[in-house]
Amino acid sequence: MPLVDTRKMFAAANQNGFAIGAFNVNNMELLQGIVDACKEKNAPLILQISKGARKYANMKYLMALINVAVQESGLPIVVHLDHGDTFELCKQCIDEGFTSVMIDGSHHPYEENIKLTKQVCDYAHSQKVYVSVEAELGRLGGIEEDVVGVKEEDLHKFLTDPDQAEDFIKQTGCDSLAVACGTSHGAYKFKTAPKLAFDLLETLTKRMPGYPLVMHGSSSVPQELIEQINKFGGSMPNAMGVPEEALTQAGKLGVAKINIDTDLRLALTATIRKVFVEKPSEFDPRNYLGPAREAVKNLVAHKVEILGCAGKANLCL
Ligand code: G3H
Ligand code: 13P
Ligand code: ZN
């Protein structure tokens, strides 16, 4: 099974009311944890790589590992650029064999976002092997790469505008749209009770039936992981994420892709901290990265059940 683009996956997701998990990869342990879990659960998956991950790991290493994962797992897998910020970066990824890219022009003025997104779509869609393009409209909170997001109290002022969304998709031809619906990146999403704009998802889905929406900033920040981090020497006071029921609900309302990075980082970090404190003489990386990889696997196995994509790989082939 070669790498796939997002079209079949998103059609299956929207028709059946579930979402595909898009998990960020930075190293081998994360990749193996994610892919092992999806294999066990027979879940289709999106492996996403940020500009920072490319710089950290060297894309040649990551792509070689991903190609092994594709062969070993037999699953439908998309390799996706997360938060691409320039045409040049998107083009480079497309030329390297990514099957999907995100061009995130959400911080640019509307017309500029359209122009940039269309340029990427024209290139991606003219390849011999189709490459999908995700765009973004509206502003999220939290920090991603070097872009500072909207403050929690202002999240609802920068939600995606449904009129603009329809016009944007028509003008650019993007395959999916990341929308601002009250989520934010990172571990500190909300100080008070989370409020997501499900009415906006409903409106978008009514106006554009079957069109795949994407939800960024969707980590749930499991409190048991935060407690473990704090217990074993960390300091993450007041970390809070998106309730898991909201993710299941989003899948039923047209969200075909749900992005999760922070939760993987928390699982890895909580496990390593625990090993270091409980076994201070341990210095073999396999004995802390191994359990950390297992924690990532358990987390992803749980997530794909929540998103509803467990057991759905065959629908995406
Ligand atoms: O939305 C951003 C992702 O969590 C990737 O984060 O840029 O630190 O790799 P990163
Ligand atoms: P989290 O920080 O909530 O995991 O969001 C990840 C994300 O949106 C990657 O693009
Ligand atoms: Zn994101």
Q: Report the candidate in 209, 181, 249 with the shortest Cα–Cα distance to residue 17.
A: 249
pLDDT of residue 194: 87
Backbone CA torsion sign across 291, 294, 299, 300: positive
Instruction: Give the Cα separation of 33 and 16 in Å (integer).
Output: 26
Q: Answer whether 175 contacts ligand 2 (Cβ < 6 A).
A: no
* 281: exposed, middle or buried (Cβ count in 10 Å: 0-12, 13-18, 19+): exposed
DSSP summary character for residue 253: T
Q: Which residues of the chain have pLDDT under 50?
A: none
pLDDT of residue 56: 98
pLDDT of residue 146: 67
pLDDT of residue 1: 74
Residue written as token pair 């997360």? 82
Q: Answer whether 27 contacts ligand 1 (Cβ < 6 A).
A: no
207: CA distance to ligand 1 center in Å? 31
DSSP summary character for residue 160: P
Q: Answer whether 260 contacts ligand 2 (Cβ < 6 A).
A: yes
Options 5, 36, 82, 261, the catalytic residue = 82
Amino acid found at 214: V
pTM over 0.95? The answer is: yes
Domain 7-316 sits in CATH at 3.20.20.70
Instruction: Give the Cα separation of 179 and 98 in Å (integer).
Output: 22
DSSP summary character for residue 263: H
Query: In this structure, what is the dihedral angle of CA atoms 93, 90, 168, 142, given to the nearest 10 degrees?
Result: 100
28 CB neighbour count, 10 Å cutoff:
16
213 contacts 254 by C-beta, under 8 angstroms: yes
Domain boundaries, the chain: 7-316
Please say if 82 is a catalytic residue.
yes
Backbone angles phi, psi at 177, to 5 degrees: -130, 120
Render pLDDT for 215-256 as a digit per residue (tens, 0 to 9): 999 999 999 999 999 999 999 999 999 999 999 999 999 999
143: CA distance to ligand 2 center in Å? 10
Give the tokens for residue 245: 């029921």
β-pairing, 143-144 with 147-148? Answer: antiparallel
pLDDT of residue 144: 66
Q: Looking at the DSSP assignment, which residues form a beta bridge with residue 81?
A: 49, 101
Please identify every residue whose CB atom is under 5 Å from ligand 3, which is an ion: 216
pLDDT of residue 206: 98
